[in-house]
Structure 1
Amino acid sequence: MFDRIRTAALFGLHQATVAAGISLFPVAVFARQRLGVNVPIGRLVETTTEAFESDDEE
Structure 2
Amino acid sequence: PVPYSHEPNRGFLRSLYALGRAAASIGEIDEAERIAKFLGESDPEASKQLGS
Q: TM-score, normalised by structure 1?
A: 0.53
Percent identity (aligned): 21
- Does 1:56 pair with 2:43? yes
Q: Superposition RMSD on alpha carbons, in Å? A: 1.8
For structure 2, the residue ranges without an aligned partner over 5 or more in a row are: 1-6, 46-52
In the other structure, the counterpart of 1:10 is: 16
For structure 1, the residue ranges without an aligned partner over 5 or more in a row are: 22-40
User: Larger relative contact order (C-alpha < 8 A, sep ≥ 6)?
Assistant: 1
Misfit runs of 4+, over 6 Å: none
Structure showing the higher helix proportion among its residues: 1
> Which of the two has higher C-alpha Rg?
1
**Alignment coverage as a number of residue pairs:** 39
Q: TM-score, normalised by structure 2?
A: 0.57
